[in-house]
Amino acid sequence: MPITEILVRNAELYGDEICLTEINLDLQERDNVIWKEYELIENNPAGEYRRDMTWRVFDEKANRLANLLIKRGIKKGDKVAILLMNCLEWLPIYFGVLKAGAIAVPFNFRYSTEEIKYCLDLSDAVAMIFGPEFIGRIEAIYDDIPNIKTLFYAGENRPSFAESYDRLTANCCSQAPNVQINDEDDAAIYFSSGTTGFPKAILHTHGSLMSACYTEREHHKQNREDNFLCIPPLYHTGAKMHWFGSLLAGSKAVLLRGVKPEWILRTISEEKITIVWLLVPWAQDILDAIESGEVKLEDYELSQWRLMHIGAQPVPPSLIHRWKKYFPHHDYDTNYGLSESVGPGCVHLGIENVHKVGAIGKPGYMWKAKIVNENGELVPQGEVGELVVKGPGVMKCYYKNPQATKDVLKENGWLRTGDMAKMDEDGFIYLVDRKKDVIISGGENIYPVQIEDFLRTHDAIKDAAVIGLPDDRLGEIAAAIIELKTGQVCTEEDIIQFCKSLPRYKRPRKVIFDKVPRNPTGKIEKPKLREKYGVVRLVEAQTEK
């Protein structure tokens, strides 16, 4: 069953119920992400930055866009790019593309003009829908994207080179178009993080998307009474596939634009949120705000909040131990996944396994996982190898890149993740590091994640990243980039002394105090750090075009 049928079902069963709410408490520039300053929503008597949508309106909006696309000549299998900040329009636009039989192609909102053009060309997109934050970037390449036949603008103050999404869809039929879709049909292209060059285009089918619904609901037991707080960007598989559990359950979700701790806690309190997916930096910020007295938990109604889960990056066990100190009643889960496996869930800890914090868990619902050597052979229990996974959400291919597809898709549908891991005697998998991030120092393999987890246990350290720096004698040495908590003072000698409890070969040989850059999904941007500190690695020098 294609995922669009779930939306149709919800509209029929729960049509007048609110399914999505957009919350804008104080939009502003934060962490180099430009948030458009919205004026008060018209016709909102409460005078708040808030918009709601029912299931029926959601479905109708998707139908209107689907009919508009078909009217404009978009055929089954054509690609439609989406470049929007998180907003109430995002998901209806995504489903409208799917209902037209087209392939949705979400874009990272941080893409430069060069990256936008590259991904438009790579995906063979013939249409694009973009928001007000991107007018300048699209205008800069408008004359150089001839394949884009249709360019829709979602927002006020429409630029002259685009058509109005709002005006045109308002005049289209709200009934579903007569387009036959099945599970084997192509549905969406997601882009890799581009950490080793330009992004690769990851093609998924409707069956793949549908599998994410079942996996998510099985893992987190969403029901009709739940309310999911979605903060991460919807262009990424992580946020959307977690929301797919709410879609399948027919339950509500809130889109919060902004990540300040007080905004998150206020929204959880006022909207009666039950499930929250956080990235590591946001969880750290909430804990720091509690411990500094910046926020007081007694000011919020949080008793209904039942589950906090984290994914998209390795999770320091020390963070979860801190979290349980303040939120002892919370269920907790770690979700592991990658865009090639339709996002989170191919491995997960499980809410019943909090005693195994530090592990990414066991194979998820309908998934298999194993750890292999370079020849694809199982490694002995406890030894490090590459994590490979198999399940219904494995990508169809890297679009237009057969060699890259061949490199990661192996016999019988196994996907090589590029992550180094090991398995304990109970079958729980522990992520060691990205294969490309392993530091080889004097012949020893050093896995940065292990050192980063250790460093974050220091009371003064907010975040840490470890990279390899060239060394004439050892080949590489481990360098620690340390981001201190506000108001904390620490010296290089303090850090070196702290690390003496590590095995000698794992101790950082250099300490640098700097901000740790992370992308919108929370992953440390190590290529930026290597570039900043003059490290050139062959794997990052080979741009994948």
Say which residues have a Cβ less than 8 Å from residue 187's Cβ, sequence separation at least 6.
2, 3, 98, 103, 104, 204, 205, 206, 208, 209
Please state the separation of Cα 141 from the chain's center in Å: 27
Band of residue 438 on the pLDDT scale cut at 50, 70, 90: confident
> Residue 442 has what pLDDT?
64
In the chain, CATH 3.40.50.12780 sits at: 4-16+28-227
What is the SS3 assignment for 527? helix
Kindly tell me if the per-residue pLDDT of 472 is higher than 90: no
pLDDT tens for each residue of 273-311: 999 999 877 898 899 999 999 999 999 999 999 999 987
- With contact defined as beta carbons under 8 Å apart, do 200 and 544 qualify? yes
Kindly tell me if the per-residue pLDDT of 116 is higher than 50: yes
Kindly tell me if the per-residue pLDDT of 419 is higher than 90: no
Band of residue 207 on the pLDDT scale cut at 50, 70, 90: very high
pLDDT tens for each residue of 68-83: 999 999 999 999 999 9
Kindly tell me if the per-residue pLDDT of 540 is higher than 90: no
At the top level of CATH, which class does the domain 442-541 belong to?
A: alpha beta
Tokens 């007000």, located at residue: 132
Q: For residue 88, with 0-12 CB atoms within 10 Å meaning exposed, 13-18 middle and 19 or more buried, which class applies?
A: middle
Q: Of 360, 365, 367, 377, which is closest to residue 424 (Cα–Cα)?
A: 360
pLDDT mean over 160-168: 96
426-457 residues labelled b (16+ CB within 10 A) or e (exposed): eebbbbbbbebbbbebeeeebbbbbbbbbbbe
Q: Read off the pTM.
A: 0.82
- With contact defined as beta carbons under 8 Å apart, do 49 and 24 qualify? yes
CA gap 452, 455 in Å, rounded: 5
pLDDT mean over 9-27: 91
In the chain, CATH 2.30.38.10 sits at: 306-434
Band of residue 390 on the pLDDT scale cut at 50, 70, 90: very high
Q: For the residues of 285-332, what is the DSSP string, one character each?
A: HHHHHHHHTSS-GGGS--TT--EEEEESS---HHHHHHHHHH-TT-EE
CA gap 66, 281 in Å, rounded: 37
Kindly tell me if the per-residue pLDDT of 490 is higher than 50: yes
> Residue 44 has what pLDDT?
37
Report the C-alpha dihedral over residues 171, 177, 181, 185, rounded to 10 degrees: -40
Residue with the bigger pLDDT between 193 and 109: it is 109
pLDDT mean over 187-200: 76
What superfamily would CATH give domain 306-434?
A: Luciferase; Domain 3 (2.30.38.10)
> Residue 520 has what pLDDT?
67
At the top level of CATH, which class does the domain 4-16+28-227 belong to?
A: alpha beta
pLDDT mean over 317-327: 91
CA gap 158, 18 in Å, rounded: 29
pLDDT mean over 491-512: 89
Say which residues have a Cβ less than 8 Å from residue 14's Cβ, sequence separation at least 6.
55, 250
Name the phi and psi angles at 382, rounded to 5. 95, -15
> Residue 26 has what pLDDT?
59
Residue with the bigger pLDDT between 294 and 470: it is 294
pLDDT mean over 22-38: 50
Kindly tell me if the per-residue pLDDT of 256 is higher than 90: yes
